[in-house]
Amino acid sequence: MGQSIGVLVTEHIAVGLVKDNQLIGSIRLFPESGSNTPDILGGMPAGEIVERIGHEIEHVSQGQHIEAIGVGFPGINRHGLVEESPNLKQTKGLNLGEALASVFSDKGTPAPVHILNDAAALAAGIAATRGQLDKLVRAWFLGVGIGSGRYPAADGFSEGGHSVVTLDPKEQFCGCGGVGHLEGIMGHRAMRLRFLDLEPEEVFDGARSGDARCSDFVKLWHRALAAATATSVHLDGPGKFFISGPNARFVQTGLLDSYLNEMVKMSPLQGSAFEVIPTSDVTAIIGAAVSAEHAASAH
């Protein structure tokens, strides 16, 4: 394959040129790094988001021949259609693949466009950058919401961040409105709603200082991730789980291992491990591009 473009859309838009599973040149960011408008996409109409993605892609391509364009986008995305996106609610029902393809066709750049979940792009990027494209790779992204990525992508919805990890009817903090979800415990937004008097980092600082309320929550936070991971193990088998995202800094892998071992007891399913990796747009950009290349070659 020649050069492809990878796009990651989360709280911002990041776009880069990819060749041979490596980033070529620098990343384009919107809003620019250091901007005082961190949630600008949340208040932007869907059509403007499409235009902005197209603008950044056009700037990165600089008239070069592009083999494929991959876009990692939050939510349930199938065949280019955004069926649901709890953190960018205005994009529900947007045919992002078709809209972007139309933009580039009009500009004389008819590269095939592939839309995938942002966490799936992260998992594909981990596989590509570690030379593991022939293996199962699973990743958790801990941010405003919780992303669950799997490579190779499986048929279905891949919304592991909305796994039910508790039957407590009071657990209603998930951005989608569901009860008992992983994101309702671990998501940054959910933690802020739960602790109206504390920021998430203050909660974890409080736990280290011995505050009982904070300590109990930190245990719940880790147990919830272990529970969702255990479900994945029981469905897909054991393996390594990569953890990234802004809130990965709170993870205590020893505690996770302990809880996971309590939940997975059948010997063929034991042996999983966690690895916290640096949070970087680069990995997901590469994953989006590689996924687009594979999708293009399959047609």
Give, in order, the Cα–Cα distances in Å from 221 to each of 202, 251, 286.
14, 9, 30
Give, in order, the Cα–Cα distances in Å from 276 to each of 10, 16, 123, 139, 272.
19, 24, 13, 10, 14
Indicate the range of 63-67, 102-106, 125-129 predicted with least confidence.
102-106
C-alpha 98: how far from chain center = 22
Q: Where in the chain is the domain with CATH 3.30.420.40?
A: 4-122+280-297, 135-276
Give percent of the chain above pLDDT 70.
95
User: Quick one: tokens of 88?
Assistant: 């960018």
Cβ–Cβ < 8 Å for 72, 8: yes
Give percent of the chain above pLDDT 90.
80
CATH of domain 4-122+280-297: 3.30.420.40
Q: Regarding the domain with residue range 135-276, which homologous superfamily does it belong to in the CATH classification?
A: ATPase, nucleotide binding domain (3.30.420.40)
User: Quick one: tokens of 273?
Assistant: 């491990």
**pLDDT by residue (tens digit) across 81-123?**
999 998 899 999 999 999 998 887 766 666 899 999 999 999 9
User: Quick one: tokens of 299?
Assistant: 């047609």
Q: Are strands 137-142 and 240-244 parallel, antiparallel or unpaired?
A: parallel
The pTM assigned to this predicted structure is: 0.92
